[in-house]
Structure 1
Amino acid sequence: VGTTTMHDILKNSEKWLVVTADSVDTIKSRHCKHPEMEDALFMWFTEVRGHGAAVNDEMLLEKGRVLGERLGVQNFAYSKDWLANFKSRRGISHHRLHGEAASVDMTAIVAGCAELQQTLADYSPDDIYNFNETGLFYMLGPSRTPATAPVAGHKKSKERITVALFCNASGTDLRKPIVITRAKRPQCFGKTFQPTLYTEYFSNAKAWMTLVIFQEIICAFDRDLRLQGRHCILLLDNASSHAVTGLQLTNLKLHFLPPCTTSSIQPLDAGIIRAFKAHYRRQLVQLYMNCAEEGRIQTVDLCQELQMIRLAWRNVTATTVKNCWHHTGILPCDNAVTATATDEHDEDDLTLAEIQQLIRRLDPAAGPSAAAEYVSIDKEVETMQELNDDTIV
């Protein structure tokens, strides 16, 4: 996180900071001398760790000094004793914060799985949900096309939208996809197209997930559960846009996954999002293939994109969903969904094979991994504004 990141964390610390009983010793936290500075430092720590970066004691001390200066903290010794107390107050005293190797990460993953199994023991797989966002280059086709095919400039564009997905552990409820774009109502919608027939639709200048959008989604889900008379738990990563406070949720419990473990224990990251993108890109390549064969410009608009997103999500099978949840190891043995004989990778392989075949028709020289690379091309794209010193303070 760069030096331009901090102004907003400190200024909006109450809005952004999430303090849970699992992660913070609330009694001790009352006795810190500069709570605003510690809140900001903990927020920075959570954000950086959530991106998988290692943080050592020296980094914490230096960032504490920088944030303290921004907040007007004076005559304060950022000592090792203070740091030890800070880590204890924030529930991070038992984590190694320097040079974390793969073996240490595995320890964190094992511990995270054990903690989740205990937390989820009282819930049925039908009532355990996971939510996550992914960036999607919705217009991006394969890298090469036939020389005779007319190609619109934006067909090769990396125009990003954000797609948020959530589903339960049994694979019986894949909630309507959430799409965030830059345009509130693009021209292609005309007067009659209703995007909410296919997805939950939001817009802002950066097509990012925001705290306001996330709160609206969560409150709507809670209302839905209340009408159904259900009580569910929703697993989330520690993204800043998920840092809700003060929500009066009656039927939904939010549970945040341990930092730096989400790539291994978050079900949507364990293959569900990848399966969704494979189904989406199969449709997109087929569309571009048809355009090429018919001599039409290869292009896609937001109307088509929303319909393809909805269909792609529907094409993710319950088998794939259940197997991805099963492979994370986070479900308690008594409640664990049973992995079926058909592995989700078999379904993925079939979809990738179809994409590879279509790409080869567009480009006979395409390599054997073209489909896999195409499906994963936007895997690491940001879906929310990264916190910086300005956004922290």
Structure 2
Amino acid sequence: MTDIVVIGAGQAGAALVAKLRVLGHEGSITLIGDETAPPYQRPPLSKAYLLGEMDEERLWLRGHDFYAEHGITLKLGHKVSAIEPITRKVMIGNDVISYDELVLTTGSYPRRLPTNIGGDLAGIYTVRSLADVDAMKVEFVAGRRLVVVGGGYIGLEAAAVAAKLGLDVTVVEMAPRILQRVASPETSDYFRALHKAHGVKILESTGLERILGEHRASGVRLSDGTELAADFIIAGVGILPGTGLAEAAGLAIDNGIKTDEFGRTSDPHIWSAGDCASFPHKGGRWRLESVGNAIHQAETVAENIMGANVVYDAQPWFWSDQYECKLQIAGLNVGYDNIVTRGPDGDSVSFWYFLGNTLLAVDAMNDPRAYMVGKRLIENGKSPAKAALQDPLTDMKSLLKA
């Protein structure tokens, strides 16, 4: 029987091992994670968990009993030191685990602020793991001052939680607008106005020159010379794929662990899925950072380990919760050249990304119907008529029939 080892106990790793058992894999399965908690959801960390609305066990994807009942060995709190592809062994300190097939679901890790500007001072946090959020929770006290460096979704979600808890919040973004890397100017404008309405100060086109303080951060000096006092700082400046083990093992890397269309790496007995993996799609190479991708890609890899030879067909979708707004995103907006706006209708509005007349993606704010219709259109390769889309009298479901 085939022995399978999975390194990385996040969303992708958890989905993969469960799928293997559903598909009837009878050999051993070992899931290795460097955190002590069982696989858990990450999106609520910067929202409900940070707000205190969700306890740790509710974050868990499955309880410990699931893994035991399905014969899945969980090795938590263990850091893999090396992979030996020739002998097919994984090293954890002095321990050795042999494998027939290995899967890397090593996820991603947050960029940190440079040490040469004070990025190693105490009182600076990232939002990626349970430990990260547990460490910063004590800082969220009404009246304290928070500077968020980075105006992406993670930074804005943390800013929203802090504002709801009564902190004085400033977001510093180097680019000309928040969300510039991932969203249209229309979406940026929407969330800028939303945050300002909740008292958050947003400074765009503003770089970070220095973090102030001797042992602990006490503020920041900005590129224009302005100094802001801060009781603590959150760095939301992006994430990087977890490729260290793969690189050391000699696997091909291309903006992540390079896989073929089936999820197999440059070694025929090593596979990869999730945030860490880049894969061929639509004539290019993609790497997606989302829950949906982690699950779908991991389950496809599980099928292919079992011999299915299924090509991974990515269907990107994302979401973000900020204050009373639920943003849902379908598709990828890369290469768009025009935007169609539907709404607003009350607090609902959606922005539709087109390349010419071809629909690429949709950002739907408090508009689940627009999201679902847009998602189905994109998945089916259909594009709605722009005039019908803009007409408030158009029934959304009719767009699916056109």
Q: Same fold (TM over 0.5)?
A: no
Query: What TM-score comes out, normalization by structure 2 length?
Result: 0.21
Which has the bigger relative contact order, CA under 8 A and spacing at least 6? 1
- Greater helix share, structure number: 1
Query: What TM-score comes out, normalization by structure 1 length?
Result: 0.22
- Greater strand share, structure number: 2
